[in-house]
Amino acid sequence: MALIAREAAVIAREQAADLRHKNADLRDQLADQREEVLRIAAERRAHSDTRLLEANEHLVVAAIRSQTMTEAAEHAAVQMSLKAERDFLTGLPNRALLADRLAQSIALAQRHGKRVALMYLDLDNFKEINDSLGHTIGDRLLQSAARRLEECIRHSDTVSRQGGDEFVVLLSEVEAAQDAVLAAEKLIKAMAEPHLIDGHRLSVTLSIGISLYPDDGADAEAILTNADAAMYHVKRNGGNSYHEFGPD
């Protein structure tokens, strides 16, 4: 009887040992499975992070490209506007921009009870220089003359090239005709200094016609036409002077 009990106890211990081994194997398997799950999850997170990083990089590149294209379009628009409003040779305002500024100046003069002075200018002797020395020298002389004219006026005023060797100076909000006369004398004196171009000392003078708003015309076209007429009066009398428009 005791022998049977001892054998049963041994069998029970062996079964318990086998159960412990099986439990240990199961725990190992569970641990392996957990590691595999964690590894797969980590790989997925890494892959997801990589895709997110790539997506962010694509967004940044797209934003930079969009900004660059926008800036290029704005620059092109500015350049087109400048070409439409500026003289190609001197960079001065052209006829269209002058007309706009003259209209604005007349509107301001009406509001503030001021005058607007317009001076039509022609370079004396320019044709002889251009014909004898060539168009390249002639073009550089026009550029030099344009710079001198700009140096003689206020920032609020305008120098415009009308074409050829003709320029227009717009003086906004002047008090009286004497203001335009003083400006004309200053321009004539400045232009009298020789222009040094490619070893040549080139001398040109100015014929200037002066017209005032509202004294000599009720609108921009009349003021411009009358200043032009006054300038031709100076040319017929030898140039290198100025003349104010009058009924004569």
Query: pLDDT averaged over consecutive 10-residue blocks of the chain (248 residues)?
Result: 55 73 76 77 71 68 68 53 80 96 95 95 95 96 97 94 96 92 96 94 97 95 96 96 90
What's the structural domain count of the chain?
A: 2
Q: What are the residues facing 207 on neighbouring strands?
A: 122, 241
Residue 136: which CATH number? Answer: 3.30.70.270
Cα–Cα nearest to 90, from 143, 44, 145, 50:
143
**What pLDDT score does 42 carry?**
75
Cα–Cα nearest to 172, from 94, 231, 98, 91:
98
Of 85, 111, 127, the one marking the end of a domain is 85
**What pLDDT score does 31 carry?**
76
Of 85, 108, 132, the one marking the end of a domain is 85
**What pLDDT score does 142 carry?**
98
Of 85, 107, 131, the one marking the end of a domain is 85
Residues 80 and 140 in one domain: no
CA dist 167 and 123 (Å) reads 9
The domain containing residue 61 runs over which residues?
Answer: 1-85
**What pLDDT score does 12 carry?**
67
Residues 81 and 179 in one domain: no
Residues 101 and 193 in one domain: yes
Residues 36 and 149 in one domain: no
Active site residues: 165
Residues 111 and 222 in one domain: yes
**What pLDDT score does 4 carry?**
54
**What pLDDT score does 6 carry?**
56
**What pLDDT score does 8 carry?**
58
Residues 111 and 223 in one domain: yes
In a domain, 121, yes or no: yes
**What pLDDT score does 2 carry?**
45
In a domain, 90, yes or no: no
Residues 121 and 196 in one domain: yes
